[in-house]
Structure 1
């Protein structure tokens, strides 16, 4: 398996999305949004297809401006109270472990409380840099989360590799000038636009050295 040239590059940092990339929180997310939809009179089938989009942006799509603040508080409450069934995706723990002493970060569309709750539930050893939707003016697909992650690591975003599962997250990474590695965990392969695409993180390994970070095929 090749990585379409990514294996020939050296990166200063790796920036990970969280939901759908490191952990599968799909069941909990759908439960929370299904309950929210019932409470707000929104057809449940309209709640799908928002992978990688901050909750505030989803709420804004369905509620008038006067009701949005309360709607955001409610979905945050529902999600914080339901982290059951969260699954660590294949290769995620190994990827984070390989980069424990190298520049890396998580940039997620969750809020900080929800991100911390899901990380704690997963048992993953997360990077010290965690960028969440409530820390940036514009969430994905805007580049802000990945630009802030690179800034906090003190690296040039064009020297970063972003690992993502969602088209809008990959759009954010490209807008930030980052290289992209997509995992086929939530979205069909033909809907993903990235420098390289793998099934999940078990198909690659990260090597951190004095000159930077490389990504290699696992076998």
Structure 2
């Protein structure tokens, strides 16, 4: 399936062509999930969910909140409607987004090691894409506070036909960057996102942030981005399966 191409949003830095990157054994690109993976925004989403459900006379548990992690926002809205939130889907999504954007505007809660790894990827000429089920209005706030020139394209939840766990978001990102998705690393924190990236054919690293990252064949796992560098990503792409969580 062909997806519409977008101009590169951040073409500030020249990057090596695909042949040069392959000679260096570097990924052709790194495709990043946002919430939970790069930024610790899941507590913001959970607080907004609590507020909304309780305003409509319901209760919201930690276990219920965990089931929402990684979902497209429209799917999360349906779950909240089933819990008694008597609002249309678009109003639920707008409420959640507004609450999270208010907190991100005050401070972007970068995960440990995130900015450092993004900076190293930029310095070594590896392009990055943000692949998130959050909407563009929130994703742009995060990108504005990222190291300059890191993200060359954004694929957001309000811009795809099929959200995660469907492979479409990652296939769109690779196509926009003009790279082979099977020569890319995807970095994700939720089972939903991991399923999306793996279905697209990307070599995937699971970062255990809010929810457990399952043990799956060929899946590398880490408890923190601070334990990764570009050379580690290159080794993973070459076939090494790195499990820094264990157990």
* Category of TM-score, reference length = shorter chain: 0.7 to 0.9
Question: Are 1:182 and 1:192, in contact at CA under 8 Å, matched by a contact in 2?
Answer: no
Q: Which runs of 4+ in 1 moved over 6 A?
A: none
2:165 aligned partner? 141
- State which of 43, 50, 53 in structure 2 corresponds to 1:37: 53
**Local SS of the residue matching 1:53:** coil
Q: CA deviation at 1:152?
A: 0.7
| The structure with more strand, counted as a fraction of residues | 1
1:35, 1:41 → 2: CA distance?
10
Q: CA deviation at 1:48?
A: 3.3
2:88, 2:58 → 1: CA distance?
14
Label 1:177 to 1:186 Cα distance change in 2 as closer, same or farther (>3 A).
Answer: same
Structure 1 residue ranges without an equivalent (≥5): 1-8, 208-212
Q: CA deviation at 1:143?
A: 0.9
Question: Are 2:160 and 2:169, in contact at CA under 8 Å, matched by a contact in 1?
Answer: yes
Question: Are 2:41 and 2:100, in contact at CA under 8 Å, matched by a contact in 1?
Answer: no
1:214 pairs with 2:237: no
Q: CA deviation at 1:109?
A: 1.2
**Local SS of the residue matching 1:90:** coil
- State which of 103, 107, 116 in structure 1 corresponds to 2:131: 107
1:61, 1:26 → 2: CA distance?
17
1:55 aligned partner? 73
1:69, 1:143 → 2: CA distance?
24
**Local SS of the residue matching 2:163:** coil
What is the correspondence of 1:9-20 to structure 2 with a 5 Å cutoff?
10-20=26-36
Q: TM-score, normalised by structure 1?
A: 0.81
**Local SS of the residue matching 2:154:** strand
Q: CA RMSD in A?
A: 2.6
Aligned residues: 203
What is the correspondence of 1:19-30 to structure 2 with a 5 Å cutoff?
19-30=35-46
1:96 pairs with 2:112: no
Question: Are 1:42 and 1:62, in contact at CA under 8 Å, matched by a contact in 2?
Answer: no
Q: TM-score, normalised by structure 2?
A: 0.73
| CA displacement 1:121-167 (0-9 Å, x = unmatched) | x5544412111101101111111111111011001111111011111
2:98 aligned partner? 77
Question: Are 1:28 and 1:85, in contact at CA under 8 Å, matched by a contact in 2?
Answer: no
| CA displacement 1:4-44 (0-9 Å, x = unmatched) | xxxxx642111111111111113222221111222344421
Q: CA deviation at 1:174?
A: 0.8
